[in-house]
Structure 1
Amino acid sequence: MKLRLIECYVPKGIFAGLESSVSEESLDKIIWSSVNEERNQTVIKILTTLSCAESITDELSTAYGGSNFRIFTLSPTSTYPRLLEEEKEESNETNNEDKKEKLTERFTRGEILSKMEDFSKITKEYILMLILSAIVASIGLWKNDVAIIIASMIIAPLLGPNIALSFSVSVADFELAKKSLKNLILGVSLVLIFSIFLGHIIPITPEYPQIASRMDLGLYNVLIALSAGIIGTLSVLISGISSSVVGVMIAVALIPPLVAFGLMLGAGYYLEALPIMILFIMNIVAVNFCSVLLFFVYGITPYKWWEKEKAKTFTIFTLIFWLLALLFMAGIIIYRENIINLFV
């Protein structure tokens, strides 16, 4: 059972009791609670399950949103005595509730937002990691060394901007969307520029195995990209999934094709670079489609009720856009030979 400890600090005198702060349904799901006075503030502490933490924090925010309040959500590593889940009656209604609870047992909106804000920041370390990943991937592609290519995937920080962009759609946070898009464009541009530069230096040709493999496109590439998007999004939704492993999965779909495309441009193989460019764009589309879809399925919405309908509409339009773009890119992969012949 995953737990969350919620601490809410509100000005002294406005606390009207726990029963007035949260709904009756939420009260039933509180494992332990306490209320203490500290200087000029009232401190509310609530221990509950992860699946109920978001609804309780939303209710506390609604109750004290007009005041100078602050809410912290902590993740206890253990508790004693050990908590046992209550046995539920085996009925269709109960089974449906269990399925819904399992589906929504994810990180809270606030926890995910904290991660996304970190992902959307442009730092010196982020730029350095991008440059190093481009250099390492270029050497791996040139030497046909899979181990070196995997190393470039591990240090490539391209997971964050893609997932943050999709999350911003789900919560209608356009400021986060601009930061994430700026971060993504910067990351792709830096990797591409350094790859083109290295393509002028490294004696590379389309016959190199790691380059040729990314020029031979098929619908299996779509499945790989979709898998990367699903796993990447689950890593920020569900606890227990290693982000480093997910980073490698995302990098499989993004870093090697982008670097291979830049190397081909730098070496002067412009026509040969077209299939690799198609692969990279298709991967970006697939990752973002899966991310937006999973955030929607797992019920990620804005906290403010008046923004929920706007976010839902925006999410549906975005899903349609990414789906159409994915089908378009799949069509290009199928008929790529005819399309490339137009440029010959």
Structure 2
Amino acid sequence: MGKREPVLAVLDNEKIDYAVWDETGRGEFEALVQFPIPPIGVEPVLEKLREAGIRENAYTIVLSPETVVSSRLEALKKRYSGLRISREELIARAEDLAPATSTFCAFLVLSTIIATGGLLLDSAATIIGAMVVAPLMGPAISASVGTVIDERKLTTRGIKLQVGGLLLAILVAAAIGAIVKGTLLLPPGLDIRDIGQIAERTSPNFLSLFLALGSGLAGAISIMRGSGSTLVGVAIAVALVPPAATSGLGFAWGFYDIALTAAVLVLVNLLAINVSALILFWISGFRPAEEKAVGRARAEVISRAAVLAIAIAFLSIILALVTYTSFQAALVEQQVNQELEIMFEEPEYAEAGFILSGIINIDYKPEDILLEMIVDLIPTVPLQKKPVIVNFVVGYQAGEEIPPDIASTAEERLKEVTGKEVEVTVGFAIAQQTSD
């Protein structure tokens, strides 16, 4: 009240067009002022209006008009160039993205149910559809926004919703797995480790970390610029809900290694999404409204980013080992295939009419290589290295003589090529062909 002239003086100095209406309501305010301003100019103009005497409890409504016809607007766009929204708009969007707890839980349970079904059906389309329902973008963004603007309640609520929501997702998936396991809904003797969509979430590598970091940055950018937040929310949910559901299924089937590996992937992705959004909001210039709170917010951002980065670095050791072991397993498989192809092109076998069937099973999993690495680092550990198990089938024409010791010959050659212990099992298939 009583601040009309200073307010209008600020707008005049900024060369902003405005319209003024006398207040005819309850009499708490003297007038209503409406003026157009580019999105990035909202925050600095509001700061100047507060310096002119506008109280914190004054009504401030920020709208997105469809069209503004003003000769001064182009000059304002040049002065306030940029695309990010104001601090007040950021807070409002963060609060809107984190719905009421009951609504959040309902959507999360539904998305987890759909995602769990998609995992068991090995359907990528179903899993992506479930991510449209998942409400995890809001809590991740609100936690970061609350930190940079020193709003403790917003931060705390965002963290609680994220942690509680993902634990709920694991429990829901475990419950669904326990219910459908052994029923007519699934094939008899189903081993979830053989399902492709589940296997993807149990062998995380550095690409998973890049996905989470990119999702967090995309989420922050979409909120700051007000575009594509729904699609970005799907990307964030993809990084969190499917691995959480995979962890729950691991518990339901009693595969605790799957449950633990998927849970580690969830945690890494959660931390990466939060740290990337947090840093981007801060370097974009968002600060608390009060000057005295800026230092406190800066310290909080630095400490939280450091904790998240350290946690990610620690968990990335696991990602590095999985990445390395997956590469080693693929390399061994390639070496085995190439050497067997060379072996069966040699005259001794080619003249006898042997044909490599191409059925080669390399039973050499990343976890086996990881165990081997540990044994190499700690020689006193009383554990035996698992050998590479190679199974292949050779076809030959009926009546032709089979060269002896194929298995032992292949074993020696594969040992030399791979540098690892190898166990070879050879199957023989007799082929007959009708004469013309």
Range class of TM-score, shorter chain: 0.7 to 0.9
Query: TM (normalized to structure 1)?
Result: 0.84
For 1:34-91, what per-residue CA distance to the aligned partner results, in whole angstroms no more than 9, with x for missing partners?
Answer: 3332234222222111121111122223433447522111111112368874599xxx
Does residue 192 of structure 1 match 2:178? no
- Which has the larger displacement, 75-84 or 189-198? 75-84
Query: Could you tell me which residue of structure 2 aligns to residue 258 of structure 1?
Result: 244
C-alpha spacing 1:87/1:173, structure 2 compared with 1 (3 Å): closer
Give the match for residue 15 of structure 1: 4
How far residue 215 of structure 1 moved from its aligned partner, in angstroms, is 1.3
Q: Secondary structure at the match of 1:306?
A: helix
1:143 equivalent in structure 2: 121
Q: Indicate the residue corresponding to 2:211 in structure 1.
A: 224
| Matched positions, count | 316
Does 2:149 correspond to 1:171?
Answer: yes
- CA contact 2:98–2:104 (8 Å) conserved in 1: no
Deviation at 1:20, TM superposition (A): 4.7
Match status 1:274 vs 2:260: yes
CA contact (8 A) 2:144 2:277 kept: yes
- The root-mean-square deviation of aligned C-alpha atoms, in Å, is 2.7
The residue that corresponds to 2:21 in the other structure is 36
Q: Name 1:118's counterpart in structure 2.
A: 96
Question: Aligned with 2:81: secondary structure?
Answer: helix
State, as a whole percentage, how many aligned pairs show the same letter: 27
- Name the CA shift for 1:183/1:144 in 2 (closer, same or farther; >3 Å): same
Contact kept, 8 Å, 2:6 with 2:52, in 1: the verdict is no
Kept in 2, the 8 Å contact 1:261–1:277? The answer is yes
Q: Which runs of 5+ in 1 are unaligned?
A: 1-10, 89-96
Mapping of residues 1-344 of structure 1, within 5 Å? 11=1, 13-18=2-7, 20-21=9-10, 24=13, 27-28=14-15, 30=16, 32-39=17-24, 40=27, 41-66=30-55, 69-80=58-69, 85=74, 101-102=81-82, 105-203=83-181, 205-239=192-226, 241-336=227-322, 337=367, 338=370
Aligned partner letter, 1:329: L
CA distance change for structure 1 residues 309 and 23 in 2, over 3 Å: closer, same or farther? farther
Q: Greater relative contact order: 1 or 2 (C-alpha under 8 angstroms, separation 6 or more)?
A: 1
The amino acid of 1:78's aligned partner reads T
Give the conservation status (yes or no) of the 8 Å contact 2:217–2:273: yes
- Summarize the Cα distance change of 1:147–1:67 in structure 2 as closer, same or farther, 3 Å threshold: closer
Q: Deviations over 1:290-318 (max 9, x none)?
A: 11011011111111111111111211222
Gap runs ≥5 in structure 2: 182-190, 323-366, 376-382, 384-436
Distance 2:6 2:286 in 1: 29
> Whole-Å Cα distance in 1 between the matches of residues 41 and 88 of structure 2?
13
Question: Partner of 1:78: helix, strand, or coil?
Answer: coil
Residue type matched to 2:202 in 1?
A: M
Q: Which amino acid aligns with 2:18?
A: S
1:330 Cα deviation from its structure 2 partner: 1.4
TM-score, length-scaled by structure 2: 0.67
- 2: CA distance, partners of 1:288 / 1:126: 18
